[in-house]
């Protein structure tokens, strides 16, 4: 699956060290994006719908842990301002 959304436990977040990852913030907006590497992120705030080139739509928001697979091209539609911890994996 190109986009995986889960609801992690506090222990799972701690084991990944999520709180030490950089923070990214973005206002309500819509933009195209391509993932050159796999991204993992944990949403601290916000609400987003991401649409893939195939027309699949995935919604996620505060408290969700999202993994975007390398090679994914999509459109981000930010419905509520986003604040997230993130990291890129090789």
What tokens appear for 90 in the block?
A: 């090789």
Boundaries of domain holding 83: 3-89
Spell out the per-residue pLDDT of the chain, length 90, in tens.
699 999 999 999 999 999 999 999 999 999 999 999 999 999 999 999 999 999 999 999 999 999 999 999 999 999 999 999 999 997
The Cα–Cα gap between 24 and 7 comes to 19
How many other CB atoms sit within 10 Å of the CB of residue 6? 12
pLDDT at residue 90 in the model: 73
pLDDT at residue 7 in the model: 98
Total domain count for the chain? 1
| CA geometry: angle 73, 43, 58, nearest 5 deg | 40
pLDDT at residue 1 in the model: 64
CATH at residue 69: 2.60.120.10
DSSP assignment of 20-38, as one string?
A: GS-EEEE-SEEEEEE-SSE
């Amino acid at each position: 699956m190109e986009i995986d959304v889960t609801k992690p436990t506090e222990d799972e977040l701690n084991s990944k060290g999520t709180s030490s990852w950089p923070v990214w913030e973005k206002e309500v907006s819509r933009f195209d994006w391509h993932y050159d590497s796999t991204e993992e992120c944990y949403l601290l705030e916000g609400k987003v719908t991401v649409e893939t080139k195939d027309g699949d739509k995935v919604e996620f928001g505060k408290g969700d842990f999202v993994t975007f697979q390398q090679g994914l091209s999509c459109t981000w539609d930010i419905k509520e301002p986003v604040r997230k911890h993130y990291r890129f994996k090789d």
